Structure 1
Amino acid sequence: MISSSARRFLSRRTWRVREIAVPLVRPLTEALVTGVSDPARPRSRRLAPRMPGVLGLLPFRRVDLVLLGDLLLAFLLFNLALSDLQDRVVATRSPLDPQGIVFAALAFSLPLALRDRWPLAAWRSAFLLIPLGTVVSRQLLIGIPYTTSTTFMYTLVVYAVAVRCERHITIGVWIASVLGSWMIHPDSVTVITGMVTVTVLFGHNVRARRLAAGLLAREERRSERALAAQAALEERARIARELHDVVAHHMSVIAIQAEAVPMQAAGDARRLEDGLREIRALSLSAMTEMRRVLGVLREGDEHADTAPQPGLGRLEELVDTARSAGLDVTLKLAGNLIELPTAVSLSAYRIAQESLSNAMRHAPGSAVSLRIARYRSELHIHVTNNTGYRSPRQRGAKGHMGHGLIGMRERVSMLGGKLWAGPTGTGFAVTAILPITEDV
């Protein structure tokens, strides 16, 4: 019978052995049996050129120069190993048959042909064939039982595994290589261990750099997609502002005109017809601007409307429209307003348009003062209006400008300017300062 203390001792020893064995068994299992390597990297055009001329009719249209180089190098190593072994047969006068020499030469060179497509298969083949070739030609290999072909081939397949496989598989390859060299020739373990260690570390460093470069490329693509999405959102916001400006202004004018024309006509058919014609013109103008704004949403640039954006050059037309809607607009301009950047001119026009639209909705019939002046590198816009003939209920909403004020703030902020808007006395005032910078 085993005492309880002995059982505890054996249990602790078993647990310690398991702790040491498990981290070693898994890498070896992955390296020898279950592990898989990463797919080969896509070839550049210089490493995979097209077949020229008549050769292009072959089943493969490109030449893989890396694979071709591996096959050529394997053939050269085979000839080198074969020549070396034949020379040793002559020198030692050994009775080794030619088939054994050919087998040994193949064992010391053939795995290299698999290195690019199947690096783990190449290493596993080398791990099995090198001991067999060494056993066959042992009597020819005096001292260290490794030929130049063997060393060169094995170094290349280990490097391929370190570059194309995960770290634990590479560790398993290193462990198996050290154990295999100890079983084949214990005196050369130190040399083989150093060679394999340097190869593994170099290959793992190359793999780490490639993975980091791939991760950086993916992050750059992700960043580009995020910037594209942000640009799309900004474009949608711009389109929404444009639509709001167009619809709010023209619909306000049309609604006021539709209410005022019958009153002004007072039964006069001619005046009523003129009023309706003006309403129709305003409607067509609104539809035209809406088509222009929505043109950016159409598929293909060839379908987009290329009509110019409105600017301060159309300010007189805007003021005339507001006056026809019943506003008493006073316009004052100062400075050179012709040579303005497109973005500044468009934003100034939209701010004036939105201010007049709000005056039409919340203070119909009011007196509006619109002053636009250029002071060196700044454009000042100042719009004020009084109460007009609003009802008491309408007066309670005099400070409400809804999305129009938000749109104005976004336009001014986009240009790096300043905006003030709010009640002043019995009316409302909007002041904007836009920096004048050249278009980029």
Structure 2
Amino acid sequence: MIPSSARQALARHARPVREAAARLTHPLVEALVTGAADPAGRPRSRRLRPRMPRALGLLPFRTIDLVLLADLALTFTLFDAGLSLLRDGVIRTHSPLDAEVLTFAALAFSLPLALRGRWPLAAWRMAIVLIPLGTVVSRQLSDPPYSTAATIMYVLVVYAVAVRSERHITVGVWIVSVLVAWMIHPGSLAVVAGIVTVTVLFGHNVRARRLAIGLLAQEERRSRQALAGQAVLEERTRIARELHDVVAHHMSVIAIQAEAVPLRAAGDAERLEEGLREIRALSLAAMTEMRRVLGVLREDDGHPDIAPQPGLGRLEELIDTARSAGLTVTLKVGGDLTGLPTAVSLSAYRIAQESLSNAMRHAPGSAVSMRIARYGAELHVQVTNDAGHRSPGEPRRMGHGLIGMRERVSMLGGSLWAGPVGAGFAVTAILPITENA
């Protein structure tokens, strides 16, 4: 009986040996039995896979793989050339080998090439078995026993394995190739090892380069997707700013209407009903705008359904709403406002809307003068209101509306001035008119 302490010590010393043996045999096992090449190599150009002519449309495949056709053509060429060389060798050496044996040797030196495009490791495993069998015939006719056909076939198959397989599998292929070459013909081992080494290194470098190009293309796609996502988020953020402009305006009008309608009705049920209808219409409009903006913000597929935004074409509607809230609005338009870029028209509308909302909140019942004019490549928007019914001592607070105005004007590269004028307030914006606005 071996003591337990001795068994443990032996196991401790044997473990590194087993690990080293596993590391050495792993590439061989992968290459010969368990390994698999990449499911697909580098995507081929469309010129290498043209579509099938319409006259041949009944065939089960729709494209022609020119690489596969080239491999098949080269396989047949190597078979024919190898068979001719073997026959010449039989005639030269007066060997008694019959035609079936020569045909088998020619197939052994050419057939694996037909499989290398789709199954490179299977093609190499076939070659590593068939070449020794074929050399049993060829060694009786020449020395060394490797024919030109066998060399070309094996180099192309090993190259396909190196391009399509991981590094440890390629190492296993190299080791097996050198061992088989040593067993077949030790005298040519150096030449065979050199050819196989150059082929393996070249194929592995091609694989590394293709993987690097693939990773770079993947990173570029991710960058484009990230930029597209960022653009979508920026667009959603810009649309979210519309929420304040739209809802604040409508809510201000609704609040003022709710206070003014009972006073204007003075007990008249018909006038009270008319005022309530106006409040209801404004509420529905505010809810519609809010649903539109929130619907855009909730889109997750990267393709928001952005509804058309208002422009200066709806300016009269905006002014009518302000007048119904008690403001006295005077509008003057100068120049041709048709054909303005969408961003300019939308920004001018929002500036006018926010200015009227500010007048409703801070100077109810005020007289508002609005002038929108086009001067060459610029659109000028000027809105001025007096103090209205605002108490003289009431402080004026700076809200988000003016910040939104400045962001809009800055986005277009224009300029904005907003501040008190006497007892009232004035907003002046200059928006450049450009084709990309």
Scaled by the length of structure 1, the TM-score of the pair is 0.78
Checking the alignment, whether the CA contact within 8 Å between 2:296 and 2:306 is kept in structure 1 is: no
User: Residue 264 of structure 2 corresponds to which residue in structure 1?
Assistant: 264
Amino acid at match of 1:249: H
Identity of aligned residues (%): 76
> Is the alpha carbon distance of 1:265 and 1:112 closer, same or farther for their aligned partners in structure 2, counting shifts above 3 Å?
same
The corresponding residue for 2:9 is none
Equivalents in 1 of 2:306, 2:138: separation in Å?
83
Report which stretch shifted further, 289-298 or 259-268. Answer: 289-298
CA distance in 1 between counterparts of 2:49 and 2:324 reads 73
Give runs of aligned pairs for residues 371-386 of structure 1, distance below 5 A: 372=372, 377-383=377-383, 385=385
Cα offset for 1:164?
Answer: 0.7
Distance 1:40 1:325, change over 3 A: same
**SS at structure 2 position matched to 1:434:** strand
Find the aligned partners of 2:20 and 2:137 in 1 and give their Cα distance: 36
In structure 2, how many angstroms separate the alpha carbons of the residues matched to 1:406 and 1:48?
Answer: 58
Root-mean-square deviation (Å): 4.3
Closer/same/farther in 2, CA of residues 141 and 326 from structure 1, 3 Å limit: same
Q: Structure 1 residues 59 and 337 mapped into 2: Cα distance closer, same or farther (>3 Å)? A: closer
Name the counterpart of 2:101: 100
Q: Shift in Å at residue 234 of structure 1?
A: 3.3
Change (3 A) 1:287 1:63: same
The gaps in structure 2 that reach 5 residues or longer are 1-12
**Which of 412, 416, 428 matches 1:415?**
412
Are the equivalent residues in 2 in contact too, given 1:50–1:56 (CA < 8 A)? no
* Residue number in structure 1 paired with 2:67: 66
Residues 171-226 of structure 1, C-alpha deviation per residue, up to 9 Å, x if partnerless? 33233323333333333233323322332233223323332332233233323332
Using the size of structure 2 for normalisation, the TM-score is 0.78
Tell me how far 1:141 sits from its aligned partner.
1.7
Query: 1:126 deviation in Å?
Result: 1.3
Q: Does 1:157 align with 2:157?
A: yes
Question: Larger deviation: 277-286 or 26-35?
Answer: 277-286
8 A Cα contact 1:40 1:116, kept in partner:
no
Residue 38 (structure 1) shift: 0.3
Cross-structure match for 1:113: 114
Change (3 A) 1:258 1:171: same
Q: Which stretch shows the higher mean deviation, 203-212 or 149-158? A: 203-212
- DSSP-derived class of the 1:263 partner: helix
Indicate if the aligned counterparts of 2:365 and 2:389 stay in contact, CA closer than 8 A: yes
Give the match for residue 345 of structure 1: 345
Q: CA deviation at 1:251?
A: 3.3
Distance, in Å, in 2 between the alignment partners of 1:121 and 1:396 is 89
Q: Distance in 2 between matches of 1:30 and 1:254?
A: 77
1:246-261 equivalences in 2 (<5 Å): 246-261=246-261
Paired AA for residue 106 in structure 1: L
Please say if residues 38 and 165 of structure 1, whose CA atoms lie closer than 8 Å, have aligned partners that are also in contact: yes
Partner of 1:7: none
Q: Which residue of 2 aligns with 1:401?
A: 399
- Matched with 1:182 is 182
Provide the rounded CA distance (Å) in 2 between the counterparts of 1:145 and 1:306: 75
Q: C-alpha displacement at 1:154, in angstroms?
A: 0.3
How far residue 343 of structure 1 moved from its aligned partner, in angstroms, is: 1.3
Offset at residue 229 of structure 1 (A): 2.4
Aligned residues: 423
Choose 155-164 or 125-134, whichever is displaced more: 125-134
Q: Is contact 1:67-1:116 (8 Å) kept?
A: yes
**How far apart in 2 are the matches of 1:75 and 1:130?**
17
Instruction: Report which stretch shifted further, 328-337 or 132-141.
Output: 328-337
Residue pairs, 1:129-278, within 5 angstroms? 129-142=130-143, 144-268=144-268, 271-272=271-272, 275-276=275-276, 278=278
8 Å contact from structure 2 (residues 386, 424) kept in 1: yes
Letter in 1 for 2:135: T
Give the letter for the 2:399 counterpart.
M
Q: Are the equivalent residues in 2 in contact too, given 1:335–1:374 (CA < 8 A)?
A: yes
Residues 143-193 of structure 1: per-residue CA shift (max 9 Å, x gap): x22101101100110111111112232233233323333333333233323
Partner of 2:123: 122
2: CA distance between counterparts of 1:418 and 1:23?
72
CA distance in 1, matches of 2:118, 2:317: 73
Q: What amino acid is the match of 2:263?
A: M
Preserved CA contact (<8 Å) 1:100 1:137: no
